[in-house]
Structure 1
Amino acid sequence: MGLHGKLVAAIEFKAGGDVFHELFKHKPEHLSKASPIRVQGCDLIQGQFGQVGAIICWRYTHEGKEKKAKQVIRVMDEEKKLIEYEMLEGSDLLQLYKTFDITIHVETKGNIDLVTWTLEYEMCNDDVEHPMSMLSYFIDITKDIEDHHFGKP
C-alpha cells in the first residue's frame, strides 16, 4: 500500500502575481530564460499552452542531474490563477511515486501576491522519502523568476 502526501509552500512574489501566472499559462518555454540553471526548456507535445488537456515536456536540472518530465494540464482556473499538472511519464519521480501532481496558485492577500506550490503524491513504498527537494526546487524557480523580472543577476 502506498503512502499519500502533500507538501505546500507559499512564497511572496514581488514582481506581481499576474506576471507569474501568465508565464506558466502562456509562455512556459520562457522559463529557461528566467531560470536557466534549473529549466532548460518546455516543449508542447499536444494541445495548446494554457489549455486543459495540453501535454508538455519539461527539460530541467534537479540535484545536478538533467531530467525530463511529461505532464498534462488537468485544471486551469483563470479566476483563481491556478494551474494543476499531472505527471504522466519521465523523470525519476514516477519511479518513486505512483502519482505526482503539482498545483501552482497565485493569490493576493492585501497588497501581497503569494505563489503557492502544492505537491500531492503517493509514494510507492515506505522507503521513499517525501519530495522536499522538489518543493525547494520550485521555491528556487519562483525566486529566479522574480529576480529575472527585476533584472537581478
Structure 2
Amino acid sequence: MGLKGKMIGQTEIKGAGGDVFHDIISRRPHHLTNMSPVKVKGFTLINGGLGTVGSVICWNYTHEGKEKIGKQIIEDVDEVKQSVRFKMIEGDLMELYKSFIITYHVDKEGDYNLVTWTLEYEKLNENTPHPGTLLDFFLHMVEDIEAHHLKEA
C-alpha cells in the first residue's frame, strides 16, 4: 500500500439543502459553530474573502474527542458544480500528512441533493492512519447542517 490515497464519501441532503450547504460552506462558514457545535469550535478568515480562491482560513474543530486546528487555502470554487477545493497548509493534519486536500461538490436532481466529499492525501509514513474518521466527520457535519436547516424551515 502506498503513501498516497483518496477517500470519497457521499450523503444525501434533503430539499434545497444542497444550495444551503454550498452557501454555508463557501460564504457563511462562521455559521457552522451554531449548526455543528460539537464538531466546529471556531472559524477565522486570515486573508482574502469568503468563497474566494486564494483565501486563507483557520478552523478550530473537535475530531476524535480532541481539540484541533487546521489552516487551509481555497484552491478552487465552482459555483455551477457547487464545489470548493481546500488545501491544508498548517495544523494538526499536516503533522501526519505531507499533503491533504479536501473537496466537496453537490449533485442536484430535483429534490434529491447529494454532497460528495473527497479527501486526497499523502501520508508522511506507513504508520500514518488513513483519514476515514475525518471523512465521517465531514459526512456527519452535512447531517448537522441539514438538521439545523430543516428545524429552521
| Whole-Å separation in 1 of the counterparts to 2:18 and 2:139 | 15
The alpha-carbon deviation at position 109 of structure 1 amounts to 3.4
What corresponds to 2:70 in structure 1? Answer: 69
Aligned residues: 150
What corresponds to 1:88 in structure 2? Answer: 89
Q: Deviations over 1:56-75 (max 9, x none)?
A: 00011111111110000000
Letter in 1 for 2:82: K
The alpha-carbon deviation at position 151 of structure 1 amounts to 1.6
Letter in 1 for 2:52: Q
Letter in 2 for 1:48: G
Letter in 2 for 1:68: I
Structure 1: where are the runs of 5+ without partners? none
| Whole-Å separation in 1 of the counterparts to 2:106 and 2:42 | 22
1:70-149 superposed matches below 5 A: 70-91=71-92, 93-149=93-149
Question: Match of 1:37, SS?
Answer: coil
The alpha-carbon deviation at position 111 of structure 1 amounts to 3.5
Structure 2: where are the runs of 5+ without partners? none
- Tell whether the 8 Å contact from 2:72 to 2:87 is kept in structure 1 after alignment: yes
The alpha-carbon deviation at position 127 of structure 1 amounts to 1.4
Q: Deviations over 1:18-55 (max 9, x none)?
A: 00000011100100110000001111000000000000
What corresponds to 2:8 in structure 1? Answer: 8
The alpha-carbon deviation at position 94 of structure 1 amounts to 1.0
Q: Percent identity?
A: 49
- Tell whether the 8 Å contact from 2:14 to 2:111 is kept in structure 1 after alignment: no
